[in-house]
Amino acid sequence: MAKTLRRSGGNGGITKPDPYATTAAARKGKSKTAAANNIFKMNTDIGQHILKNPGVAQAIVDKADLKQSDIVLEVGPGTGNLTTRILEKAKRVIAVEQDPRMAAELTKRFQSTPATAKRLELILGDVIKMPELPYFDVCISNTPYQISSPLTFKLLATSPSPRTCILMFQREFAMRLFAKAGDKLYSRLSVNAQMWATVTHVMKVGRNNFNPPPQVESNVVRITPKKPRPQVSYEEWDGLLRVVFVRKNRILRSGFLGTNSVMEMLEANYRTFCAQRDILLDDGPLDEVIGESMDVDEAGAGDEEWDGIAEMDDEDDLPDFFKEEADRKAKKLQDNPNRKKKGKVAELVRAKVKKVLETDTDLGDKRARLCDEGDFLKLLYAFNQEGIHFS
């Protein structure tokens, strides 16, 4: 035990130890520790929040129900807290890490156990930019929040489908996966996830279980792809959802007929469809152009440019009156007999789209946020029957 008092050699008196010496030594030790930690300072710009709670890490791996024959894809392994536990239960782990520092730390961690290291395949790179994912049975990921959406879509599109995916997400993003038609968080993500997989909640994870703690709470979800896989083209299905969820509070008629870029995309796809089947098209101008002097397009000033990006929900808080008024004006412009007409192919595609929305499905006046999976399937089938495709 350290002495608290010492006898002075000069005057025989008793003196206390120098408190500054102890404080300085503590600072010196702390500075060494800080210097060591700075080598692996987490880059929160790319979503580095290391799961430090061993109990949570073990619970995530247990929920995956791994088999000894499983190949596991781990996205963002970091320092390997999940990897260690996965290797105890699985045949092999394919870890995809973007940060070279973390990749080096992960390799170093398993150097002392060559038998285990042989079962770990480390890929340095961005999982989203990989042309295709290697074969795997299960995906486990403490997902960097910035890639939550693209990673989910990439996993849903993977063929053959994995048996299950256990993924950690920001809480609001996880709730989008469960959202139903009419919910505020209902989106393209909700429809896609529930079309291709069964999504179940696993557990909540507080922010203090991470180093450094993120600004938001997290949830772990299980995504189990449906088997057999629905007999629908993923590209076609997702293409339709991208269009309808650009503005999920607009009626579908406005989303299609009232958006120039969408109609141009459908026209281009229809031309490709006809070319592949040797269907001849009359590509000339209309014999009679009505109201040529009036340069009024399908949606006039209310036209929305579409660039393929979905889940733009900035209309959520707009009062219903204004939404209805905007839809009424857009419909009036669409039905305007003085609208400047385009070529014969463009008008043919327009007529087909109008037929699908108003006659074949009767969904023209419905909003995307209120449509369920059955409505979107009906739309896709009707469009495809008319030769209108989304991919």
Where is the binding site for S-adenosyl-L-methionine, in residues? 49, 51, 76, 97, 126, 142
DSSP-assigned letter for residue 318 = S
Read off the amino acid at residue 378: K
Task: Count CB-CB contacts under 10 A for residue 256.
Answer: 25
Task: Count CB-CB contacts under 10 A for residue 84.
Answer: 21
Report residue 91 as tokens.
């045949």
14-15 and 6-7: which strand pairing? antiparallel
3-state secondary structure of 305: coil
Residues 351 and 355: their CA atoms lie apart, in Å, by 6
Residues 72 and 91: their CA atoms lie apart, in Å, by 8
Asked if residues 286 and 341 have their Cβ atoms less than 8 Å apart, the reply is yes
Asked if residues 161 and 195 have their Cβ atoms less than 8 Å apart, the reply is no
114 exposed, middle or buried (CB, 10 Å; 0-12, 13-18, 19+)? exposed
- Chain-centre distance of CA 81, in angstroms? 24
Residues 232 and 255: their CA atoms lie apart, in Å, by 23
Q: Specify binding-site residues.
A: 49, 51, 76, 97, 126, 142
Longest CA–CA span in the chain (Å) reads: 118
Helix-helix angle 148-157:188-196, to 10 degrees? 30
Asked if residues 381 and 226 have their Cβ atoms less than 8 Å apart, the reply is no
**What is the CB-side half-sphere exposure of residue 210 using CA atoms within 13 A?**
25
Residues 56 and 47: their CA atoms lie apart, in Å, by 19
